[in-house]
């Protein structure tokens, strides 16, 4: 602030707005107020962008009164409202009015025009998504575009019969013999921006409508040649990771690697990809090993976005890894159930210490049923523990997962009386899909199968028979 007031000749309104935006991001009210006071009291005349930052501070503080007072000041000063200002005003109205009234207000301000003010209309779509669902918002979007473009968008041919399967995979329309004609292109006067796709996609995942999210991707691709950006792809990858849909995760990762975004992938997506390899043993093709990633990825992406069903989660996982992935899923679920059971036991013990008598008419809590795959995995763990404790099986050493300090492929060792120098091979580190928990699970399953086939026999001990089922 001192440098800005000392050299006023070099300071413009844009620099003041830059400092205002910095104070807005860190929510520093004192700095925001001081900068705004200097700006309003100086020789500068604030622009509409400055007032938009003040309105955004009201949204940050969740204060409708702040926004209302700022709009009154803008009206008194004769400041015109741009789409950003109206967007903030509609966001405040969204918490008070319903979607029908929001759409009426939008049509009252912007109805009858040949263009759509997307920054404001996306707020109306967001209200429809939160109140009546994404499907209703998608219908409203098509209705508005039909009125604006004179139903030209709804008359577009089917992409499966006329257009190339590569259409919509980039931001530009496809070129070639299957590209749309000039007359068809001119009829699409207004198309939704990429932010509308991200809004509907985010709301679909929030409402756990996974198939609708893929349907929206295909619809935006086939109708308007609009594809998601890396951030939206990262959100879709995170949801597929939570649902353990490995086939879609592999397809999304290969599609992202083929696109090669300029700003790089979001860090969260990269971490989840590494966690996928470490926890489930599913290999992914990284950029440094891009062989096998070609135009067929675009064909698979177009086919997936046309399909409304989810499909087999292990469709694109290599067949030899299906069994291992299922055992890793059972292991993770077993750990999760054990952790929840320990927390429930602690809560029940605390409640029993507070009140020894149960409430009449209320049945005691019944532990949840354990899935059969978890029962099988716990049997595998018990069999492996018994084989190790009885001395019938010696645990294998874990594979090297971190490279050694010496990065040379060979090390020089001198020994013997003649001090002969010989080369010794250094063990290279293995990938995440082989080492770590994946190696231990494969060993435990191997021991369990040997016990099942009778190749490894466990002796009887005190207290009962060992597991030989």
- The mean pLDDT of the chain is 75
**Predicted confidence band of residue 161 (pLDDT cuts 50, 70, 90):** very low
How high is the pLDDT of residue 195?
92
In the predicted structure, residue 359 carries a pLDDT above the cut 50: no
- Structure-model confidence comparison of residues 28 and 173, the more confident one: 28
pTM to 2 decimal places: 0.71
**Predicted confidence band of residue 5 (pLDDT cuts 50, 70, 90):** low
How high is the pLDDT of residue 345?
63
In the predicted structure, residue 198 carries a pLDDT above the cut 90: yes
Least confident interval from 380-394, 419-433, 451-465: 419-433
In the predicted structure, residue 466 carries a pLDDT above the cut 50: no
How high is the pLDDT of residue 87?
80
CA nearest neighbour of 140 among 151, 128, 123: 128
**Predicted confidence band of residue 107 (pLDDT cuts 50, 70, 90):** confident
**Predicted confidence band of residue 425 (pLDDT cuts 50, 70, 90):** low
How high is the pLDDT of residue 461?
42
In the predicted structure, residue 395 carries a pLDDT above the cut 70: yes
Convert the pLDDT of each residue in 20-32 to its tens digit.
Answer: 888 888 778 888 8
Average pLDDT over residues 322-332: 91
How high is the pLDDT of residue 153?
45
In the predicted structure, residue 47 carries a pLDDT above the cut 80: no
How high is the pLDDT of residue 444?
92
How high is the pLDDT of residue 125?
92
How high is the pLDDT of residue 155?
44
Report which listed range, 90-104, 176-190, 264-278, is most confident. Answer: 264-278
How high is the pLDDT of residue 383?
92
In the predicted structure, residue 379 carries a pLDDT above the cut 70: yes
Average pLDDT over residues 52-66: 81
In the predicted structure, residue 208 carries a pLDDT above the cut 70: yes
How high is the pLDDT of residue 423?
55
Average pLDDT over residues 69-79: 80
């Amino acid at each position: 602030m001192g440098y800005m007031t000392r050299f006023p000749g070099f300071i413009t309104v844009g620099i003041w707005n830059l400092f205002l935006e910095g104070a807005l991001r860190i929510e520093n009210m004192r700095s925001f107020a001081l900068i705004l006071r200097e700006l309003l009291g100086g020789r500068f005349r604030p622009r509409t962008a400055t007032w938009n930052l003040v309105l955004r501070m009201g949204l940050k503080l969740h204060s409708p009164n702040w926004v209302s007072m700022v709009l009154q000041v803008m009206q008194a000063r004769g400041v015109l409202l741009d789409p950003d200002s109206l967007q903030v005003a509609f966001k405040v109205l969204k918490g008070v009015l319903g979607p029908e009234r929001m759409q009426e207000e939008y049509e009252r301000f912007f109805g009858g025009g040949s263009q759509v003010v997307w920054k404001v209309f996306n707020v109306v779509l967001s209200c429809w998504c939160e109140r009546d669902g994404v499907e209703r918002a998608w219908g409203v979007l098509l209705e508005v575009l039909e009125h604006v473009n004179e139903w030209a968008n709804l008359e577009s041919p089917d992409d499966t019969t006329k257009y190339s399967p590569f259409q919509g995979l980039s931001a530009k329309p496809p070129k070639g013999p299957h590209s749309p004609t000039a007359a068809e292109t001119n009829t699409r006067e207004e198309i939704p921006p990429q932010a509308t796709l991200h809004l509907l996609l985010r709301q679909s995942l929030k409402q756990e409508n996974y198939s609708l999210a893929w349907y929206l991707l295909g619809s935006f691709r086939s109708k308007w040649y609009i594809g998601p950006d890396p951030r939206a792809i990262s959100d879709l990858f995170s949801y597929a990771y939570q649902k353990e849909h490995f086939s879609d995760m592999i397809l999304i990762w290969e599609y992202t690697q083929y696109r090669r975004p300029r700003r790089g992938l979001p860090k969260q997506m990269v971490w989840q990809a590494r966690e996928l390899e470490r926890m489930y043993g599913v290999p992914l093709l990284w950029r440094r090993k891009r062989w096998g990633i070609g135009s067929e990825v675009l064909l698979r992406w177009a086919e997936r976005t046309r399909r409304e069903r989810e499909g087999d989660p292990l469709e694109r996982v290599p067949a030899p890894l299906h069994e291992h992935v299922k055992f890793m899923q059972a292991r993770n679920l077993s750990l999760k159930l054990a952790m929840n059971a320990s927390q429930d036991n602690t809560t029940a013990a605390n409640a029993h210490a507070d009140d020894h008598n149960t409430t009449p008419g209320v049945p005691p809590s019944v532990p949840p049923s354990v899935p059969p795959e978890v029962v099988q995995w716990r049997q595998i763990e018990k069999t492996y523990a018994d084989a190790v404790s009885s001395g019938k099986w010696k645990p294998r050493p874990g594979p090297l997962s971190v490279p050694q300090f010496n990065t040379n492929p060979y090390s020089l060792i001198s020994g013997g009386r003649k001090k002969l120098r010989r080369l010794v091979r250094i063990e290279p580190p293995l990938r995440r899909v082989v080492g770590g928990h994946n190696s231990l699970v494969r060993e435990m399953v191997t021991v369990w199968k040997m016990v099942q086939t009778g190749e490894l026999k466990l002796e009887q001990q005190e207290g009962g028979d060992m597991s030989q089922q």
